[in-house]
Amino acid sequence: MKILTAEQMQRIDRISTERYGVPSLTLMENAGRGIVEFLESRFAPLAGQRITILCGRGNNGGDGMVVARLLRDRGLTPRVLLFSAPEKLKGDALVNWERLFASGAIEIVPDDVAWKRLAPEIHNSTLLIDALLGTGLTKPLEGFLLDVVRDVNGLAARTRIVAVDLPSGISADQGDLIGECVRAHVSVTFTAPKLAHVFPPACECVGEWVVKPIGTPAEALSSDPDLKLNLATREDLAWLAAPRARDAHKGRFGHVLILAGSIGKTGAAAMAASAALRAGAGLVTIATARSALPIIASLGMEYMTEPLPETDSGSVSLRALDYGRFDELVNGKNVLAVGPGLGSAPETFELVRAVAGKYELPVVIDADGLNAFAGRIDSIRASGRVRVLTPHPGEMARLTGQTVAGIQASRLATVRHFAASRGATVVLKGHKTLTAAPEGDVWVNSTGNPGMASGGTGDVLTGLIAGLLAQHNSRPPAEVAAAAVYLHGLAGDIAAEEAGETSLIAGDVLDAIPAAFRSLI
């Protein structure tokens, strides 16, 4: 699902009219109808609701006026307030004002004096429709409308507030709040969500959001090369649940090699390997430090293990590259995952850098594998090969030399720039995990919960990405990685229903992967 800016949405609307022949008035009518259909499904029976509709003078207000007229057509009597002098209306909003005026009374609220007189009278509303301001807002509210927004928020405890497109006071183009805004319970938007619907803290004021189609041709979205921001949704992932051929065998689903584990960090390797198997990989092999191998082998029956020379601290030694031993391990594998529990010995880091640069097969790099490149960012270059990097904000800060706060303040720009500059797919983990392709496309994740902030869940994600890449090498790597992130979060949500967020551990997420797959069917 595409995520749009206000300018992109305006362009899509214009293209819908000029290129595809959908009148703008029809788009507005469909928007109002979509809201009414939502109200009927969520707040039935509407005849039992006391409905107030606040309309501004722009297209958002025009949508609200369509809602009011359609409710009156159903025999309802919503109270309609227009926060503008009628002579200031123009275009489609003016047309719908004239249509609405013909159907019944409208109260004009041109200034704060009129509002202070009317405000107490809407306190008994059970349902309030905010159609004051839409996606075009670029500066904080002030004066008269700021007072209106504050008064509306004072009703929230006893009145359901439904915003048309976006709550008034929010800029469509950013997650940051530019000032005070309506705090809606639900927002009904059109064609596609906007940035403010998706990114915090603005999304927390949007409430639940629902997308309603208004007749925008799908081609208007799919043919626009500038629409590069996507929301990962269940509907996009039907390919993950496609049934396997009846004559399938393990060789058809890829062999994942995982370079992971060290003394004291054996569980990370085991979880990554188990997740790769749960993702559907046909075979998984863990290559690990010799002394760590017995423990890792004891943690799982389905994956294979290979011993490698080790350092004095019990991590894999650079000597693993001697005599072509690692070349033999890589031969015949479809994906290499590097990093979980690998340790931070300088020699091990040197091994990671050598391995990541040497082999042509897809490589997923996480955890200690990423730390090997701290201060050596120029060593990470995909050079046309598939490389997937999965940093959390702390790891990204070490890679880029920024602060964690700086990373978090500009997550979208950071992940886009890093992916483009390295030629790699980059998964920036955290709330609303972002997956960026080198070409600039970004997927925003919509699953997961705070209970997943627990040791080992990142290792599970590494295994999921590697396992899916091993099977779906015909798809763009960033699309596959974004699917793994979605599935990972979905498994976490399913696990949290049973364990709760506080008690959730990585093993719970791992165990819930099959249920996550089943839920996609």
Mean pLDDT of 342-360: 95
The residues pairing with 186 across neighbouring beta strands, listed in sequence order, are 162, 208
The per-residue pLDDT for 136 is 82
Mean pLDDT of 372-388: 91
The per-residue pLDDT for 262 is 97
Q: If you compute the radius of gyration of the chain from its CA atoms, what whole number of angstroms results? A: 27
pLDDT in tens, 170-213: 999 989 999 999 999 999 999 999 999 999 999 999 999 999 99
The per-residue pLDDT for 521 is 85
H or E segment and range at residue 498: helix 477-499
pLDDT at residue 395 above 80? yes
Percent of the chain clearing pLDDT 70 (strictly above): 100
pLDDT at residue 4 above 80? yes
Q: What is the mean pLDDT of the chain?
A: 95
Residue 319: strand, helix, or coil = helix
The per-residue pLDDT for 137 is 85
The per-residue pLDDT for 315 is 96
Characterise 449 by phi-psi region: left (phi > 0), alpha (psi -120 to 50), beta (else).
Answer: beta
Residue 349: strand, helix, or coil = helix
Mean pLDDT of 242-266: 95
pLDDT at residue 347 above 90? yes
pLDDT in tens, 460-519: 999 999 999 999 999 999 999 999 999 999 999 999 999 999 999 999 999 999 999 999
pTM for the whole structure: 0.93
pLDDT in tens, 102-145: 888 899 999 999 999 999 989 899 999 999 998 888 899 998 89
pLDDT at residue 323 above 80? no
The per-residue pLDDT for 380 is 87
The residue among 149, 145, 205, 144 whose CA lies nearest residue 174 is 205
**17 pLDDT band (50/70/90 cuts)?**
very high
pLDDT at residue 312 above 90? yes
Two tokens at 184? 């809606």
The full DSSP string for 10-23 is HHHHHHHHHTT---
pLDDT at residue 438 above 90? yes
Q: Going from the N-terminus, what domains does the chain have, and what CATH number goes with each?
A: 6-227 (3.40.50.10260), 249-519 (3.40.1190.20)
**383 pLDDT band (50/70/90 cuts)?**
confident
Two tokens at 255? 């062999």
The per-residue pLDDT for 105 is 82
- C-alpha distances in angstroms, 142 versus 134, 179, 196, 418? 16, 9, 20, 38
Strand duo 304-308 + 255-259: pairing: unpaired
pLDDT in tens, 263-293: 999 999 999 999 999 999 999 999 999 999 9
